[in-house]
Structure 1
């Protein structure tokens, strides 16, 4: 086994381990912390119904609303960490679900289109491609200064191609080699490489950035 294969095997192990930990944390947030907060909320509502003093009643109501908001935020965070639809329904439905959260969080509309018939992927490939798309979309929210994104899933007999076009400010790739943005792009390429696919990135100042993912089927 040469040095490159050893490095790829190590990177693959690290990524798989991280994903297992992320899945565990997401489950704990949803079924552990979330359920505990729901129990506290129920108890507060019972206490509130038994209180007659209006000032205290108003305070309990405010605390209940705060806990409800926190429960919602935890549920959203859990979905963002590891959407249950990814395992249950597959990549495209999981992306549709994630984009609703993305738009509500960042105010960026994503025009999502699918061409061809969706093909079921191994869980590892599903996770890898989802993470790369997630990273691309988060980069758009941070850097692109745009309100609209075009995203296309194209299924052929031999390949899945995903294109993400942001129509934003764009950037010069060579000027981002040492930046945090560049490290994120490098991780995207590495994740796709480890699944047997590839990721290409092009960008032009004033015209936006285009990311294309290719995965053999």
Structure 2
């Protein structure tokens, strides 16, 4: 059995700690801040029904609409930070839910297909794979200049493979010393490495970027 070196142990501890904090913040946004805003909204709507002056009613209505919009944004942010489906019903449903949010936010269509029977994955590995997929999609929205993404899940007997291709403008791979340009890609590779899996990234100018993820069972 391969031993984890001290540097990997530290990286694993940092990532796990970050995920716990992200989960706490997501829960607080949804059940704390979101619920408080909803209570304020209910109170304002009650006041609005009892005010006669038209200009005051219009003002309160505008404020209510703004609070409704803020509540929706908080809910979306909470789901983006830590999708409940990731913990409750599994990786694939969580990715599907995130893709709906992603498409509504960025206008990029993601064609997701899954082959084989979905397998149970430990939560820690599930989070790692989800974060890599999430980072890949965010990078596509930022840099790829594309309107279409293809994502395939392959559930094999001994591993899960995921292929993501963006059909975008592609990029020239940078040297490892260019930390600012490669830190996000390096983090994706590090996350998979800590699960015993791999993340490989290839790109060609004008042909798009492909990301291959593998996670052994």
* TM-score normalised by the chain length of structure 1: 0.97
* 2:61 is aligned with 1:61: yes
SS of match in other structure, 1:161:
strand
Cα distance in 2 for partners of 1:47, 1:131 equals 43
Q: Deviations over 1:90-135 (max 9, x none)?
A: 0000000000000011110000000000001000001000000000
SS of match in other structure, 1:117:
coil
* 2:40 is aligned with 1:40: yes
* TM-score normalised by the chain length of structure 2: 0.97
Q: How many Å apart are 1:37 and its aligned residue? A: 0.1
Q: How many Å apart are 1:181 and its aligned residue? A: 3.6
SS of match in other structure, 2:56:
helix
Preserved CA contact (<8 Å) 1:171 1:203: yes
Partner of 2:207: 207
Give the alignment of 1:101-140 within 5 angstroms.
Answer: 101-140=101-140
Cα distance in 2 for partners of 1:14, 1:176 equals 22
Cα distance in 1 for partners of 2:7, 2:128 equals 17
* 2:15 is aligned with 1:15: yes
Give the alignment of 1:1-217 within 5 angstroms.
Answer: 5-174=5-174, 178=178, 180-217=180-217
SS of match in other structure, 1:168:
coil
Cα distance in 2 for partners of 1:208, 1:111 equals 16
Preserved CA contact (<8 Å) 1:139 1:181: no
Q: Deviations over 1:138-158 (max 9, x none)?
A: 000010000000001100001
Q: How many Å apart are 1:174 and its aligned residue? A: 2.9
Q: Deviations over 1:155-210 (max 9, x none)?
A: 00011000100000001113685153411000000000000100001000000000
Cα distance in 1 for partners of 2:189, 2:28 equals 30
Cα distance in 2 for partners of 1:169, 1:20 equals 36
How many residue pairs align between the two structures? 215
SS of match in other structure, 1:119:
coil
Structure 2: unaligned runs, 5 residues or longer: none
SS of match in other structure, 2:140:
helix
SS of match in other structure, 2:5:
helix
Q: How many Å apart are 1:4 and its aligned residue? A: 7.0
